[in-house]
Amino acid sequence: MTIQKTQLEPDKQPLNFEIFNISGTSRTELYLLMHINEEPDDWETYRSAVVKITPRAIEVVYYIYNWIQSMWYSPSGKIYLASVDGEIHTNASGSWEVLSLGKYSFNYITGLPDGSIVCCGSGAGIFSYDDHQWKLLNKGLPDNCDLITIGGLSLDNLYAFGKRGAVFHYDGDKWTRLESPTSKMLVNMLPVSADEFYCCGWSGTFLIKRKSSWEKKDAPDEHNFYSMIHFEKKLLIAAGNGGIFSFDNNEILPLYRNMPASNLTVIDGNLFAVYGNAFYELNNEAWVKYEPDFGSVIK
């Protein structure tokens, strides 16, 4: 992939960019969720954009003065965004629409294998999208729980995770809090089957749940774990500036120590990573770095 760049105008001050997520169905048409701010400590200057990248062009397809916390790109090519203001932004109807779901601040949105969509956030804010409507799924949740991530295989077998190691299970009717082997914040989960999943979080936390039992794995160091992905029969873990680890032979081992990653994604059989203002693609065991000129399209 070759991306043409243009130079910033001489009097234009560069903005601060961070790639938060990368999605797509083809390596030649990628969608990036960008965070932009003029002043790092000034919340009012925070903005978000969805940027489309092809081999020939960089294009902003959505731009908003809001902090979009999570993006899910559906298999059909529809984009769903969840904001800290409790809004869902989507182009599912062909044009961008915004729906406010109330007082909640969302942290994560994703699709499930059964075709439904779920999102979670603060104040017991868990919603599902099914049959063309959003439904609140918070029966059994304490009002003060702050949920960071959610996942599962279907709406009748969901898990939600949050601060201080909180774990909740949904059986299709209500949520039940489960005993957790950690007090660290859990930020990502990866289902394997109806009875088994992995989850990871801060300070090298990596957990496996099989039916009613937990297994806790020790990481080589205490780098925060941000996301996980299955790729070529391996389970890979993004550890920020600590690199990329693999879970292999029941051990967590360093795989790409010099490859920083806050998010990992497989697109059309290719492994991508994002970190800071760049994204990377694995090509024959070598990482190719892309640094598009976002300043030329985001003003």
Region 34-56: mean pLDDT is 81
Domain harbouring 200, CATH code: 2.130.10.10
Binned at pLDDT 50, 70 and 90, residue 16 comes out as confident
Mean pLDDT check: name the lowest of 13-22, 103-112, 269-278.
Answer: 13-22
Q: What is the pLDDT of residue 185?
A: 95
CA atoms within 13 A on the CB side of 178: 22
pLDDT surpasses 80 at 22? yes
Residue 1 lies in a domain: no
pLDDT surpasses 60 at 71? yes
pLDDT surpasses 80 at 204? yes
Question: Is the separation of the CB atoms in 79 and 71 below 8 Å?
Answer: yes
Residue 242 forms beta bridges with which residues?
none
Q: What is the residue-averaged pLDDT of the chain? A: 90
Q: Let me know the angle formed at the C-alpha of 16 by 34 and 31, rounded to the nearest 5 degrees.
A: 15
pLDDT above 90 covers what percent of the chain?
Answer: 79
Whole-model pTM: value is: 0.92
- The 3-state secondary structure of 225-283, one letter per residue: CCEEEEECCEEEEECECCCEEEEECCEEEEEECCCCECEEEEECCEEEEEECCEEEEEE
Region 120-141: mean pLDDT is 93
Domain count, the chain: 1
Q: What is the pLDDT of residue 217?
A: 93
Residue 81 lies in a domain: yes
Residue 91 lies in a domain: yes
pLDDT surpasses 50 at 28? yes
Q: What is the pLDDT of residue 2?
A: 41
Binned at pLDDT 50, 70 and 90, residue 76 comes out as very high
Residue 7 lies in a domain: no
With tokens 């024959």, the residue in question is 284
Q: What is the pLDDT of residue 44?
A: 60
The residue among 147, 141, 143 whose CA lies nearest residue 163 is 147
Mean pLDDT check: name the lowest of 141-145, 274-278, 294-298.
Answer: 294-298
Q: Which domain holds residue 126?
A: 16-296
Region 25-45: mean pLDDT is 81
Question: Is the separation of the CB atoms in 273 and 266 below 8 Å?
Answer: no
Q: Quick one: CA dihedral 129, 130, 133, 139, positive or negative?
A: negative
Residue 161 lies in a domain: yes
Residue 153 lies in a domain: yes
Coil, helix or strand for 222? coil
The residue among 241, 260, 253, 149 whose CA lies nearest residue 199 is 149
Q: Are strands 167-170 and 196-201 parallel, antiparallel or unpaired?
A: unpaired
Q: Quick one: CA dihedral 189, 179, 176, 171, positive or negative?
A: positive
Question: Is the separation of the CB atoms in 179 and 165 below 8 Å?
Answer: no
Region 135-153: mean pLDDT is 95
Residue 170 lies in a domain: yes
